[in-house]
Chain A
Amino acid sequence: MDPYDTPESTPRHGASSRLKGYFIGATPLRKRLESVRKQASFVPTPPRRKIPQCSQLQEDNDPQKFAFLLHKQWTLYSLTPLYKFSYTNLKEYSRLLSAFIAAEKQKGLAVEVGEDFNIKVTFSTLLGMKGTQRDPEAFLVQILSKSQLPSENRGQKVLWTGWFCCVFGDSLLETVPEDFTCVPLFLANGAETNTAIVGTWFQETFDCHFSSLAINAFNLSWMAAMWTACKMDQYMATTEFLWSVPCSPQSLDISYAIHPEDAKALWDSVHKTPGEVTQEEVDLFMDCLYSHFHRHFKIHLSATRLVRVSTSVASAHTDGKIKILCHKYLIGILAYLTELAIFQID
């Protein structure tokens, strides 16, 4: 696996090895491309990463604080830096966004039957959700509905949640001027219409831009390896991979679930460098899984498309959806996603 391949040029695991063969015949061209890429300011995906550990910052915090973020499916977006965003104006932003949403809904642009228009928007900071002190504070936006019925208690139901964060975002922070706040990773849970409305308000207010953050097979493999490498006291879920096979006329999905202890045993057998995960180890880990499968079924999984990986730590889908299952490695997971988001912005 060539570490300088950009994710966009390797949508399929198998395709990249074919591309590689093609370039071997065009060595001078390739050398020129490489030097151009090195001069550009983007960060190529590194050949090694640290295994997520409990970060110092997070250990000080009550695990319950972020419990509401676990076990939910989040849709991922990358976000360009916000212009003139201020953490002291959060109350003001709540008010403005609230009014904006009410106006949009009355316009009839996003009417959900039966929904009462009595909604409230809250902005709050999520302290401790960062990698280094340099990272800006993460913050949370929620749309709540106030119950109209007197019979229900005056409790508020959360309709939509979105949070913005930056975990180990140094590479972006270094390049950005003062008036900008960098929170490149945005995660949303709730109705798409609400995500669109909130997104529009942010774009108009802070001159920023949201893009869907897809996760390609290459990064899914990395996530699977890294999350398998995490030390777990207890395994809550089986380790599972989902491949989509590009055959016609019928589609075929292959789900490969492996007992988490066996996945860990395989990883431990592959893993050589303490504290780190290398490209070779990720490739070998996946290769072993492919080889075990091929031995039984004579099918080359490497020629198909990896679409989803799921472990006791977290699960991720190629469409840019993630579910975090373990608070212990929250920061590590966010660090990887921040890296992907920053890569997409550049």
Chain B
Amino acid sequence: MDETVAEFIKRTILKIPMTEMMTILKAWDFLPENQLQTVNFRQRKESLVQDLVLLCESKRASLRDAALLDIICEDVDLFDMERFKSSFEKILRRALKNVTVSFRDAEENAVWIRIAWGTQYRKPNQYKPVYVVYYSQTPYAFTSFCHLKSNTPLLSQALTVASNHHKIVKMDLRSRYLDSLKAIVFKQYNQKFETHNSTMPLQETLELDMHMDSRIIHENKIEKERVQRVTQETFGDYPQPRLEFAQYKLETKFRSDFHGGILAERKEPLRCLIKFSSPHLLEALKSLAPAGIADAPLSPLLTCIPNKGMNYFKIRDK
């Protein structure tokens, strides 16, 4: 075997993580099963690689075989759904004897997972399952509310390890509508196309009303138009993703231009918890400025919700 080929094979195999070694070698199908079994996979990686390269040499691996190995490595880097599922289930079962795990493949490289939790002594409770939807081509997973909070670390671990990531972070984003969450994190809600004529239809509508009865004057027409325009710029023309609430934990000092003196000496901030709830929060917020209940533009604390993919916030004085 050529020196360069041997070196190439050695470097390629070195890049393979130990957890995938067997899978890849089997997929490569160059070294037969019985030969692989003679190799000690528990030794240090450098020694293992040396043994494998020797085997390749004895079988006279060509550049073509080496290139094939390289392709397979790349391919396995891409997601293997079956491997994810078996790995996920294995991790749960290793920790918890009584657990029911089911999978259903869905569209767009998504897999729905249903987990019924039990305990060491009790069978899984089928009436309180947790659902997880994992989009394999993205670093996002969505989980339903878990009654047994103690199982959350285990679930997180199973997801992280099985999907080959090294860390999982809980986002401050919750909603009853999976599609809305998807729209927000995958940034699919913004269907707006930039046009210079976006303000024209609005003006036309007002014009029409005026022609119907010239005795009716729209008071504050300019301000109302400004509010409409600003609202449209902030929220866009498209339907908003559906969220039910947003929560803000505020720890900010009381400051007011009109109430000078109130709490002036107090160094501590006011500790507040503000919660907005609505069947369709973003649509409701969008209607506030036009209704005169809020200023336009609305506070960025509210308008940033879809952009930041958050609906739980902690705000402190800078």
Specify whether A and B are partners: yes
Contact A253 B276 (CB under 8 A): yes
Q: Looking at chain A's contact residues, is the secondary structure mostly helix, strand, loop, or mixed?
A: mixed
Contact B274 A303 (CB under 8 A): no
- Given A252-B276, A252-B278, answer yes or no on A266-B271 (Cβ-Cβ < 8 Å): no
Contact B274 A251 (CB under 8 A): no
**Smallest Cβ-Cβ distance to B298: which chain A residue:** A298
Nearest chain A CB to B178 CB, angstrom units: 20
Q: Which residues of A contact B294 (CB under 8 A)?
A: 297-300
Contact B293 A247 (CB under 8 A): yes
Nearest chain B CB to A317 CB, angstrom units: 16
Contact B279 A250 (CB under 8 A): yes
Contact A252 B277 (CB under 8 A): yes
CB of B142 within 8 Å of the partner chain = no
**Smallest Cβ-Cβ distance to B269: which chain A residue:** A262
> Looking at the complex, which one of B256, B268, B288 makes contact with A288 (CB distance below 8 Å)?
B256
Contact A253 B302 (CB under 8 A): no
Contact B278 A300 (CB under 8 A): no
Contact B287 A247 (CB under 8 A): yes
> Looking at the complex, which one of A259, A295, A300, A303 makes contact with B256 (CB distance below 8 Å)?
A295
Q: Which residues of B contact A253 (CB under 8 A)?
A: 276-278
How many Å lie between the Cα of A300 and that of B291 in the bound state? 11
CB of B299 within 8 Å of the partner chain = yes
- Against B, the Cβ 8 Å flags (1 = close, 0 = not) of A253-281 are 11111110010011001100000000000
Nearest chain B CB to A339 CB, angstrom units: 29
> Looking at the complex, which one of B252, B263, B280, B299 makes contact with A265 (CB distance below 8 Å)?
B263
Q: Which residues of A contact B302 (CB under 8 A)?
A: 297
- Given A247-B288, A291-B256, answer yes or no on A262-B271 (Cβ-Cβ < 8 Å): yes
Nearest chain B CB to A224 CB, angstrom units: 15
- Against A, the Cβ 8 Å flags (1 = close, 0 = not) of B280-292 are 1101110110011
Q: How large is the interface on A (under 10, 10 to 19, 20 to 34, 35 or more residues)?
A: 35 or more
Q: Which residues of B contact A288 (CB under 8 A)?
A: 254, 256, 259, 262-263
How many Å lie between the Cα of A253 and that of B276 in the bound state? 6
Contact B287 A248 (CB under 8 A): yes
Q: Which residues of B contact A255 (CB under 8 A)?
A: 273-277
Q: Which residues of A contact B271 (CB under 8 A)?
A: 258-259, 262
How many Å lie between the Cα of A296 and that of B284 in the bound state? 18
**Smallest Cβ-Cβ distance to A260: which chain B residue:** B271
Contact A258 B272 (CB under 8 A): yes
CB of B266 within 8 Å of the partner chain = yes
Q: Which residues of B contact A238 (CB under 8 A)?
A: 273
**Smallest Cβ-Cβ distance to A256: which chain B residue:** B274
How many Å lie between the Cα of A40 and that of B83 in the bound state? 84
Nearest chain B CB to A219 CB, angstrom units: 22
CB of B14 within 8 Å of the partner chain = no
CB of B258 within 8 Å of the partner chain = yes
CB of A116 within 8 Å of the partner chain = no
Q: Which residues of B contact A269 (CB under 8 A)?
A: 261-263, 266
CB of B301 within 8 Å of the partner chain = yes
**Smallest Cβ-Cβ distance to A297: which chain B residue:** B299
CB of A304 within 8 Å of the partner chain = yes
Q: Which residues of A contact B301 (CB under 8 A)?
A: 296-297
Q: Which residues of A contact B63 (CB under 8 A)?
A: none
Contact B262 A266 (CB under 8 A): yes
- Against B, the Cβ 8 Å flags (1 = close, 0 = not) of A284-301 are 100110011101111110
CB of A245 within 8 Å of the partner chain = yes
CB of B315 within 8 Å of the partner chain = yes
Q: Which residues of B contact A295 (CB under 8 A)?
A: 255-256
Q: Which residues of A contact B270 (CB under 8 A)?
A: 258-259, 262, 266, 292
How many Å lie between the Cα of A303 and that of B287 in the bound state? 14
Nearest chain A CB to B288 CB, angstrom units: 6
A288-B263, A299-B294 known, 10 other contacts, Cβ within 8 Å: A247-B288, A250-B280, A259-B271, A262-B268, A291-B259, A292-B254, A297-B298, A297-B301, A299-B295, A300-B295
Show 10 residue pairs from A and B whose CB-CB distance is below 8 angstroms, ordered by the A residue. Answer: A247-B288, A247-B293, A248-B287, A258-B270, A258-B273, A284-B259, A287-B258, A296-B250, A299-B293, A299-B295
Please list the residues of chain A having a beta carbon within 8 angstroms of any beta carbon in chain B: 238, 245-259, 262, 265-266, 269-270, 284, 287-288, 291-293, 295-300, 303-304
